[in-house]
Structure 1
Amino acid sequence: MNVFYEGQVLWSQIDANQHMRHSAYADFGAQARLTMMESLGLDLKALLKYNIGPVLFREELFYTREVGINERIKVSCELIKSRVDGSRWTMRHEIFRSDGVKAATIIVEGAWIDLEKRKLAALPAELMEHFMNSPQGHDYMEEQAKPKN
């Protein structure tokens, strides 16, 4: 398992039913994703040098077990689909409780955006090499880049 976040669930992340609120799962997934990218050399400083940032098109969460206050969790992150050029990608996060039980799976689909033009962009070659070193899931699939019209 490729763990990129470990931490404690805080009071502010609990809902009225006394378990972790839905948006906290997404927040933990985002933190794991950013930590994973930073470990590859894709930190915010490197991305901002090229005025590029990640953008999400879809985020889907599957809840399987409750997580309570003060529970310690681990969050994994792995690439499960990518275009050959890395321009679009899909990542999977799994959230595990301290007892080893999987509490949730998060699937995100994203791409890269030019922060000035506000249009989708490809990563520069040097950053693309880093991105393609992302941990890959056992079910990883590579897609061909779509031709430009």
Structure 2
Amino acid sequence: MSYSKIYTVRWADMDPNVHMRHSAYTDYAAQVRLEFLADQGFTMQHFAELKIGPILFREDTRFLKEIHMSETIRVSAELGGLSADGSRWRIIHTLYKADGREAATVTVDGAWMDLRLRKLTLPPPELVAAFAGITRHATYADIVREKKTEE
């Protein structure tokens, strides 16, 4: 399923150059991720009950076009990669201007953390299924982790 949301850029998103500040791009990407998870039944409350949560290892933003105050933007989330067990994932967000031009891409690599043990964990099958149902980005690649070898 394709997932995106429409937002109106706020005054608080601006920088002194009178365009959207760099960190606002990642804020919108994070918001659309959280809304996707909530729409799949994984609200912050449900994550607290499960005692797990999403964590990021990497966040990469590519700026392509300026975004200005009060502009309407569409922010998408597409699956860039997923491990077989669902423990690791990559989401690629595209921020689009109202005319459909790409304004930026935000790529995040993440995993799931056990909030009690503060260690990486496997997600429940329903969460793996939700991620597997996201539209795959054109650059999708399975995430394969190499086993560590003893020296």
User: What is the TM-score of this pair, normalised by structure 2?
Assistant: 0.89
Q: Are the counterparts in 1 of residues 2 and 134 from structure 2 also a CA contact under 8 Å?
A: no
Partner Cα distance (2:124, 2:52) in 1: 9
| Other structure's SS at 1:28 match | helix
How big is each residue's C-alpha offset from its partner over 1:15-38, in whole Å with a ceiling of 9 and x where there is no partner? 000000001000000011111222
- Which residue number corresponds to residue 18 of structure 2? 18
**Alignment partners' CA distance in 2, 1:28 and 1:144:** 28
Distance, in Å, in 2 between the alignment partners of 1:138 and 1:40 is 23
Cα 1:110–1:71, aligned 2, differ >3 Å: closer, same or farther? same
Bigger drift between 45-54 and 134-143 goes to 134-143
Moved more, 9-18 or 127-136: 127-136
Bigger fraction of residues in strand: 1
Q: Separation in 2 of the partners of 1:37 and 1:138?
A: 22
Q: In percent, how many aligned pairs have the same letter?
A: 39
Q: How big is the alpha-carbon RMSD for the aligned residues of Structure 1 and Structure 2?
A: 1.9
**Match of 2:8?**
8
Residue correspondences, number: 149
Structure 2: runs of 5+ lacking an equivalent:
none
- Partner residue of 2:83? 83
Q: Distance in 2 between matches of 1:113 and 1:61?
A: 23
Residue number in structure 2 paired with 1:74? 74
Alpha-carbon offset, residue 136 of structure 1: 1.7
Question: Which residue does 1:106 correspond to in 2?
Answer: 106
TM-score of the superposed pair, with normalisation by structure 1: 0.90
Distance 1:87 1:49, change over 3 A: same
Shift of 1:145: 5.2
